[in-house]
Structure formats: structure tokens, C-alpha cells
Amino acid sequence: MAMLQVENLQVYYGVIQAIKGISFHVDQGEVVALIGANGAGKTTILHTVTGLVPAKAGSIMFEGTDLIKTPSHKIVSMGMAHVPEGRRIFQELSVYENLQLGAFTRRDKAEIAASLEMVYDHFPRLKERKNQIAGTLSGGEQQMMAMGRALMSKPRIILMDEPSMGLSPLFVSEIFEIIKEISREGVTVLIVEQNAKKVLSIADRAYVLETGKIVLEGNAADLINDDSVKKAYLGE
Amino acid sequence: MEFLSQLINGLSLGSIYALIALGYTMVYGICKMLNFAHGDVIMVGAYMLSIAMATLHFPPFLSILVSMVVCATLGVCIEKIAYKPLRNASPLAVLITAIGVSYFLQSSALLLFGSTQRRVESAINVPNLQIGAFSISGNSLITLGVTVVLMVIITWFINNTMTGKAILAVSEDKGAAQLMGINVNRTISVTFLIGSALAAVAGVLFISAYGYVGPYTGSMPGIKAFVAAVLGGIGSVPGAMLGGILLGIIESLSKAYISTQLSDAIVFGVLIVVLLVRPNGLLGKKRTEKV
């Protein structure tokens, strides 16, 4: 059984249907990418999975529980973390406090401390800046902090929304390296990305979205050589 | 010495404003709404104190506790019944609802207790402090002391407990807070609970100084505390404290040295001047609205 199984998902913003009956799945240990142009519905899907946007129809089964019927704040303790679009870090709190909030639902102090060390290992820069107010970090550092904050919940699956957005090429490569590391450590990854080339190079499988529908799916290695994908998303 | 005594009166009055302003500013921070019913919670607190002490013959300390529990419950209920259904409504609808709740509380008090003000025995009875020929009101000192202690506790609570940090997180971004596993509704309830309990303490201190409570007792201190919160920078906890203290001092000194009648005009005049110079208040942050 798939770890995350989305069936016939439909989402509306008012009368406009943003997601028109989408089905996809993510297996344990995979890196799955959702790619597509602006407005295709990629972010909406992630928001619906973690309950920030309500679904109209369909089901989102995560290890046997339907997330559509689960309040948003209960999802993280089930083992699913979400690094949202635009990072949405707590600007007025320190780096350390942001990371602390990432472990909000956890109670075991020793394990939280171990997670903090793990996050600092992935992102040494965050350790250097732990007392700095998060809003004063650079864009790349904010992205690292958002990812670190998600890791603090000790997730088994992590949803990432446009981790490369607004970052310099150097930072983009660094962020993608870290995503690979996180995946190697056994965390399943569902990633939404406009930088199709980059994301297909680290993903196992991918789904291509167009205006709320999946138009193509397959192994990342195949999609990267697919002519229509090349033309539409890789700029070749 | 006369000046010192006026200054202490001002500090004590200001600390009452600051306690009320804290509730205004915390609720504004988390819900981005002005809870105009907040002042009337003070009135409820004062009536509860009077009932507990005069009718039920509870000792003062227990009476204060009863008043705090009733007000905290009332605050949480007001939020659940009146404001929660409007979480995604326009700010104007919420504002009008808050004014409605305020009238509801005043009218209920009018119905239950009548329009005549009732005399309330002071819950705090301490002798005045004598320094030579000069005396400082004991009640003022207690008021000041209680407020300082409560402010230290609240500041510590917000910055050092996970619940406090959850309040800050929800104030900044409700969606992101949910992704951290924070129960937004519960956090908002906790905020109303704290704000209303502080309002009860403010009510107790206020009527201990003035001796009478009526259905409209909460309205003027409520408005002044709102001014204090705006003066300090609404949404900012230290701002509410500073704004409240400043307002109390300005009011006391203008009553003593300028004119009793004009003191309110001066208080509101100061607000206008401060907002002209610093539109976000003294300690308010410049906020860029996210669209």
C-alpha cells in the first residue's frame, strides 16, 4: 500500500475549480515531484493534503487515515511535515524559537535535542545564527530554516513547496543536495517545483500538472527525456 | 513631595490602564480585531467582586479569584460565541459585533443590577505609607506592585513557555502555526482567557480605588486602555505596558496641575500628537500588509 494515496481530489476556490479530480500516490522512501507551470495547482494540492485548504471531494489517505477529515494541526504529529510556499517562517522569532516550534507536538526533551543537533548538522549556518531574528536571515537561510523547522517534527514524509524559489543558483544546488540527504536518511519526499530540470534530477517519479489535471506521469529519468516535457518545462 | 504623590497616583492609575491594555493588545495581535467588549469585562469583574464579598461574604482574596475565574470564562465564551463564527468575515463585521457584545454586557448588567451604582468595599486595605509628614496611598502602592508582578509573569509566559510561543506564532501566521501542530482555536481561547483574567484584576483594582460600580463602569477605563494600547503600539505587549503607564501619569498630572475637566482632553490630545508623529505607536513595528 502506498504511504500517501490521493484519489479523485477536487478543490474549489469559490466557484472556480482549481483541482479537477487528481489521483496520485507516494510510496515509502520515494522522492516524488509535482511539476507544472504557474497556476497548475501544485501548491493547492499540498495545501489540501495538510488541510490548509479544504477539499470538495476525493480522499487523501495517509497510512490508513483520511487527511481530509483530520484537523490541520493534528497532521504533523502523524509524521507529515510541510515546508510551505514562501517558507512562512515566524519572522519575529529567533531561529532557535522557530526550530522549537517545529517540535511543538513532541514532548521528549532528549529526542528533541537530538533532532536539533541533526538539523544543525544539515544546516551549520542555522547553528551560527540560532539567536538571530528569523526575519533578518537571507532568502536561502530562511529556506534552510523552514526545512529545518519541518525536520524538527521528525517526519516520515516531508512536503516541500518550491524550495528553490527566489534563491541564487548556488543556494539552489545546496538545497537540492540537502533534500537528497534527507531522502537518504529514509524520509519520504513529495516536492513541488518549477525548476523541473533540477527536481527531475533528484526525484524517483514525477507527475506533470496542467490547470488542475495530471497530464503525464512516470519515472523521473524517463520524463527528463520526454519530448513534450523537454519542450514545455525544460526549455529545450 | 506633592509632585511625588501625584506621580505615584499616576503610576497606579496607569498600571490599571496597562493591565486592561494588555488584553486589548494581545487579542489584537492574535485576531487582528479590536475587542471593544473588553472594557465591559472589567465591569463584570467589579460586580463579581462586589457579589462575592458583600453577598456571599467571601474573604477578599477568594473574591478576587472568583472574579478572575468568572471573567476568564466570560472572555472565552464571548470569543467562542460571538467572534469565532466571524473568523473569516470582514474586519468591519467583527468590529460591529464587538460593539454589540459591549452593549449586551452593559444592558445585562443594567437588567440584573439596576442603574444605580453600588458601593463596593475595597478588597485591598492597607495603611498609607508615612514618610515624615508625607503619606503615600497604600492602595496605590499595592496596585502598582500587583501590576508589576503580573506584567513580569505575562512577559515571562509569552517568551518562555511553548504556549506563549504558540500565541506569538499564531499572531504571525495562523496557517504556518497549524503546520507546526498548534491548535489555533485553543491558542486564541487561551489569549482571551489571559486577557479577561487580567481585566478582572484591573476591575478589582479600579473599584478598590473608586468605590463604586455601575453598568457603565468599564466603558471609560476601557476606552482609555484602548488609547494606551494604540499609544504604545497595538499588538506590542511592552507597548501596552508603556502606553498605560504614560497615560495614567499624564492624566494624574494634568488633573493636579492643569485642570480636572480638561484632563481627558489632554489624554486624547496626547494620543493624536503621538499618532501624528509615530503612526504605529511608541513601540509598534512598522507592518507591511501581506496581500
**A92 and B184 in contact by Cβ < 8 A?**
no
Q: Average pLDDT in the B104-115 region?
A: 95
**Chain segment B57-69, per-residue pLDDT in tens:** 999 899 999 999 9
> In chain A, how many H helices and how many E strands?
10, 10
- Answer yes or no: is pLDDT of A102 > 60: yes
Which among A50, A71, A97 is the nearest to B165, CB-wise?
A97
Interface of B with A (CB under 8 A): 162, 165-166, 168-169, 172-173, 175-184, 285
Least reliable range by pLDDT among A96-100, B127-131, B166-170: B127-131
Q: How far does the CA of residue B118 sit from the closest CA of chain A (Å)?
A: 46
Q: Is the pLDDT of residue B287 over 70?
A: no
**Burial degree of B81 (CB within 10 A; 0-12, 13-18, 19+):** exposed
| pLDDT tens readout for residues A19-75 | 999 999 999 999 999 998 888 999 999 999 999 999 999 999 999 999 999 999 999
pLDDT digits (tens, 9 = 90+) for B271-281: 899 989 998 88
Phi, psi (degrees; rounded to nearest 5) at B281: 85, 175
Cα distance between the two ends of chain A: 37
Tens of pLDDT, residue by residue over B150-194, are 999 999 999 999 999 999 999 999 999 999 999 999 999 999 999
Q: What's the average model confidence in pLDDT over A107-126? A: 95
Inter-chain CB proximity B168 and A88 less than 8 Å: no
Q: Count of alpha carbons within 13 Å of B173, Cβ hemisphere only?
A: 22
On the question of pLDDT at B231 being above 90, the answer is yes
For B187, the closest chain A residue by CA position comes to A73
**Beta-carbon separation of B181 and A74 below 8 A:** yes
Chain A residues inside the 8 Å CB shell of B181: 73-77, 104-105, 153
* Residue B286: per-residue pLDDT: 63
pLDDT surpassing 60 at residue B12: yes
> Is CATH 1.10.3470 correct for B2-115+138-277?
yes
- Are A48 and A57 in contact, with CB atoms under 8 Å apart? no
User: Using one digit for the tens of pLDDT, what is the confidence trace for A145-182?
Assistant: 999 999 999 999 999 999 999 898 888 999 999 999 99
The verdict on a CB contact (< 8 Å) between A104 and B181 is yes
- 3-class DSSP assignment, residue B280: coil
Q: Give the mean model confidence (pLDDT) for residues A214-222.
A: 93
Range of lowest pLDDT (A206-210, B9-13, B280-284, B285-289): B285-289
Please report which confidence band the pLDDT of residue A231 belongs to, taking 50, 70 and 90 as the band edges: confident
Share of chain B above pLDDT 90, in %: 73
The rounded mean pLDDT for chain A is 94
Distance CA A178, CA A184 (A): 10
Q: Do B173 and A88 touch (CB under 8 A)?
A: yes
H/E stretch holding B136: strand B134-136
In this structure, CATH architecture of domain A4-87+157-234: 3-Layer(aba) Sandwich (3.40)
The complex's ipTM works out to: 0.93
In chain B, which residue's Cα lies nearest the Cα of A153? B180
What are the domain boundaries of chain B? 2-115+138-277
pLDDT at A2: 92
Query: Would you say residue B288 has pLDDT above 70?
Result: no
Question: Shortest Cα distance from B175 to chain A (angstroms)?
Answer: 6
Alpha carbons A236 and A123: distance in angstroms, whole number: 34
CB contact under 8 A, B178 and A149: no
Is the CB of B168 less than 8 angstroms away from the CB of A102? no
Question: In Å, how far is A236's CA from the nearest CA of chain B?
Answer: 35
pLDDT at B133: 72
For residue A236, what pLDDT is reported?
Answer: 65
Query: In A, which residues are within 8 Å of B165 by CB distance?
Result: 93, 97, 100-101
Of B162, B166, B172, which has the smallest distance from its Cβ to A91's Cβ?
Answer: B172
User: Above 80 in pLDDT, residue B229?
Assistant: yes
Question: Is the Cβ pair B180, A102 closer than 8 Å?
Answer: yes
- State the pLDDT at residue A1: 77
The conformational region for residue B116 under phi > 0 = left, psi -120 to 50 = alpha, else beta, is: beta
Average confidence score pLDDT of chain B: 91
CA dist B200 and B72 (Å) reads: 8
Residues of B in contact with A44 (CB under 8 A): none
What is the band of B290 on the pLDDT scale with cuts at 50, 70, 90?
A: very low
Mark yes or no for CB contact A92/B179 under 8 Å.
Answer: no
Are residues B212 and B119 in contact, defined by beta-carbon separation less than 8 angstroms?
yes
The DSSP element (H or E) to which B29 belongs, if any, is: helix B2-31
Minimal C-alpha gap between B263 and chain A (Å): 37
pLDDT of A230 strictly over 90 = no
